[in-house]
Amino acid sequence: MNVGILYGSSQKNDGKMKAVAQGLSEGIQSQGHRVDLIDMNLESGKIVSFYDYLVIGTNNTTFFGGKIPEVVTTFLKGAGTLSGKRCMAFITSGGVRTMKTLHALMKAMEKEGMFLKKSEVIKKPDLARAIGERVQI
């Protein structure tokens, strides 16, 4: 299957976010799937509706959490037909209320009609790889 891992951060060139996305990619590829990494900060306007499964990740915009970067919602609105698309949400930890931020990301994805299968808070690339190896696509 074709899997797209979309990640966007409130900071340009977020090394932690990219490392976690790469870890997920390695884990999912070990299952035999084809994976593309897409930085939402750099590739705005890209159509991703041809992927069979999408993994979308971001981080907290503030220390107290609850908000996701605007680049994520903007990207999803212009990414093609996402209604009914199976997907996974993840955030990198940081700040106080990470679950509130994860909930905000899931709400943005559901607003586009996406079908959430899994959500995770991922702190390290090693954990991301382990999650990628056992995610049900």
The residue ranges of DSSP E strands in the chain, in sequence order, are 2-7, 34-39, 53-58, 86-92, 115-122
Decide: helix, strand or coil at residue 45. coil
Decide: helix, strand or coil at residue 117. strand
In the DSSP assignment, the letter for residue 7 is: E
Would you state the pLDDT for residue 33? 94
Better-predicted residue by pLDDT, 28 or 96:
28
Indicate the range of 11-15, 77-81, 108-112, 126-130 predicted with least confidence: 11-15
Q: Please report, for the chain, the start and end positions of each structural domain, with discontinuous segments joined by +.
A: 2-131
| pLDDT average, residue stretch 96-110 | 88
- Those residues whose C-beta lies under 8 Å from the C-beta of residue 90, and which sit 6 or more positions away, are 20, 24, 55, 56, 57, 102, 119, 120, 121, 122, 128, 131
Would you state the pLDDT for residue 79? 87
User: pTM of the entire structure?
Assistant: 0.89
Decide: helix, strand or coil at residue 135. coil
pLDDT above 90 (res 51): yes
Mean pLDDT score across all residues of the chain: 89
Would you state the pLDDT for residue 95? 67
pLDDT above 80 (res 64): no
Max CA-CA distance within the chain? 38
Structural class in CATH, domain 2-131:
alpha beta
Tens digits of residue pLDDT in 68-93: 888 888 999 988 888 889 999 999 87
Would you state the pLDDT for residue 94? 67
Q: Is-contact 53 1, C-beta < 8 A?
A: yes
